Amino acid sequence: MSGSSTTPSKSKVKREEARKKREERKKEEEEKAKRFIFSDNATWLLRFPRAGAISEDYADEKIAMKVKVLSLIRERTSILVLVVYSWGLAADNPLGLGAFILMEFSECASVNHLLKDLNAAVDTRLIRENISDNDIEFLFRQIYCFQLQLFELDFDRISSLPTPKTGFSATIRPLTWKIHDIIQTGGINTFGDRTRGFSTTTEYFEYIIRQDCEQLVRQLNSVAGPYDAENKYPSFKPLASLVPGYVNERHDRGPFKLVCDDLGLANLIVKSDDDFTIVEVVDLEWSYIGPAQLFASAPWNLTDAQPETVAEPVSGSLGDKDPAPLDPIRNV
């Protein structure tokens, strides 16, 4: 009995370590960066999507959405974000290096680095033990103040971010981390008609499930074999029928909220190892207008992991209906 109970935990640790390494490597590969230090010691950072990691067809949109979300947060909240000095689409870059963004550079430490036990034998999401409860409370109060400010921003439809500030003509259906990953790693475009929007949260979640089903059907290597395919394919129809049970009716037609697929502890910058004051929020990749249920689901800052990697249900979302682990919906 003891052997059977310890083996799964060891394998789970190994899977978790491999997953985190893949996530970190993917993040590093997404963008290239070059730091510029001027004579007055001012430091700027030039960033542009890395070819191969970001689809060439969507690199311009990715940069434009990043610029837009930073300007939106700066204008409508008190959250400190990095200053964007200049940016441009691929056509605007005379060096032929693609879309770019020139922005402020921060040398402070991120929250996930601060909370880690750097001397631990095994990489883990557990907070190091030598941090006081008062420091943890101070840190997380700031995070939830940010969350509350962002939740105050209301939008009337699920879509890409509005673009008056950037002038970039974005289509209605948003460029999410998930759909780009399907395109870039699976070679399957599951957008459908990007000019068609969604009037309700229910419609959007049904669209998310169709993405997974379409990937299963069209991407031949998305399954391990016939047996795997036969088990996965029949699950999508009953899964779609369960969607209404995961949608709070009061929020089905909005207002909709700002959703960031990449907002985790690594995006929060603190003043120093001894001062847990959050001084900046950085790298808000893959942002769009989405259902309030997504915004109110368990945030990354509780687990330092993407929602689809958390095995147990987490309560505390909008109203009395919580988005429990419905994998294709969580992984949006």
The DSSP annotation for 217-240 comes to HH-GGGSSSHHHHHHHGGGHHHHH
pLDDT, tens digit, for every residue of 160-180? 988 766 677 778 899 999 999
Model's pTM, two decimal places? Answer: 0.77
The CATH number covering residue 52 comes to 1.10.510
Residue 23 inside a domain? The answer is yes
Residue 5 inside a domain? The answer is no
pLDDT for the residue numbered 256 = 94
Residue that the structure tokens 């682990």 belong to: 325
pLDDT for the residue numbered 288 = 94
Residue 211 inside a domain? The answer is no
Residue 80 inside a domain? The answer is yes
What average pLDDT score do residues 134-154 get?
91
pLDDT, tens digit, for every residue of 258-316? 999 888 888 889 988 888 999 888 888 899 999 988 887 666 556 555 555 554 444 43
Distance CA 38, CA 194 (A): 43
Residue 140 inside a domain? The answer is yes
What's the domain range around 112? 13-170+251-330
Average pLDDT, the chain: 80
Q: Please give the tally of structural domains in the chain.
A: 1
For the beta carbon of residue 229, count every other beta carbon within 10 angstroms.
15
Residue 214 inside a domain? The answer is no
pLDDT for the residue numbered 180 = 94
The answer to whether 129 and 117 are in contact (CB under 8 A) is yes
pLDDT-derived band of residue 8, with 50, 70 and 90 as boundaries? very low
